[in-house]
């Protein structure tokens, strides 16, 4: 999707935003919606005259001294992908302006190097966690007990390397909540319910 088209869709959609998190609305969040040629700003008080060099991902960055959600329109083939992403990235701005405090300290690149994504025991635990969450026959009390046991073992593995637990907790709080907001927007606006929980990182499972 071209940035010009995405801008029009987002501007119209945010005229009547839905509630996905107490106190959060993307309607007042500054956005930079861009493609390879153009960038369009929404709710930004002082957009820069030149294209920012940091426009490389869907995220929250500072543009002109203002926390701004950046939306690469090429990631979105239609409004069903675009609008939930807007809610997600806008929520990161909401987090970054003081609503959430992330005190966990870790070396991001060292963490990625040591994350046990290919460890067979860790992958089995992730798979088991997803299976428990997807099992509609299990009572909530049983699910809670099984998930607590699985998480305890996962955390034991993460604790073997420096910073992995801090990374996990920070990811669950930051990306987990943003993913929850994205899913609620997709459900309320388009009637698309979340699919089965995938066997991925913790934050993408816990907030389904």
pLDDT tens-place string over residues 181-199: 999 999 999 999 888 887 7
Question: How does residue 204 score in pLDDT terms, banded at 50, 70 and 90?
Answer: low
Q: How far apart are CA 110 and CA 127, in angstroms?
A: 24
Entry pTM: 0.87
Average pLDDT, integer, range 88-109: 82
pLDDT bin (cut points 50, 70, 90) of residue 207 is: very low
pLDDT of residue 107: 80
Name the average pLDDT for the chain.
Answer: 89
Residue 131, token pair as written in the block: 């299976």
Q: How confident is the model at residue 98 (pLDDT cuts 50, 70, 90)?
A: confident
For residues 86 and 14, give the distance between their C-alpha atoms in angstroms, rounded to a whole number.
9
**91, 174 Cβ separation under 8 angstroms:** no
Judged against a pLDDT cut of 70, whether residue 103 lies above it is answered with no
Is 58 within 8 Å of 72 (Cβ atoms)?
yes
> What phi-psi label fits residue 93: left (phi over 0), alpha (psi between -120 and 50 degrees) or beta?
alpha
Instruction: Please state, in angstroms and as integers, the Cα–Cα distance from residue 22 to each residue in 99, 143, 171, 181, 204, following that order.
Output: 11, 27, 20, 10, 21
In this model, does residue 65 exceed pLDDT 70? yes
Distance CA 80, CA 104 (A): 34
């Amino acid at each position: 999707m071209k940035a010009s088209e995405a801008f029009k869709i987002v501007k119209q959609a945010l005229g009547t935003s839905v509630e996905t998190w107490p106190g959060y609305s993307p309607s007042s969040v500054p956005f930079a919606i861009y493609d390879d040629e153009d960038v369009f700003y929404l709710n930004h008080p002082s957009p820069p005259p030149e294209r920012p060099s940091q426009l490389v991902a869907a995220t929250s960055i500072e543009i002109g001294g203002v926390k701004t959600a950046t939306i690469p329109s090429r990631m979105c083939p239609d409004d069903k992908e675009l609008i939930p992403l807007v809610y997600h990235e806008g929520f990161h701005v909401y987090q970054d302006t003081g609503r959430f405090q992330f005190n966990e300290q870790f070396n991001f690149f060292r963490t990625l190097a040591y994350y046990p994504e290919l460890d067979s025991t860790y992958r089995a635990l992730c798979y088991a966690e997803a299976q428990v969450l997807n099992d509609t026959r299990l009572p909530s009390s049983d699910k809670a007990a099984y998930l607590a046991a699985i998480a305890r073992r996962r955390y034991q593995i993460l604790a073997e390397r420096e910073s992995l637990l801090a990374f996990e907790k920070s990811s669950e709080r930051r990306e987990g909540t943003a993913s929850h907001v994205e899913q609620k927007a997709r459900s309320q606006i388009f009637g698309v319910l979340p699919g089965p929980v995938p066997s991925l990182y913790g934050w993408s499972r816990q907030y389904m």
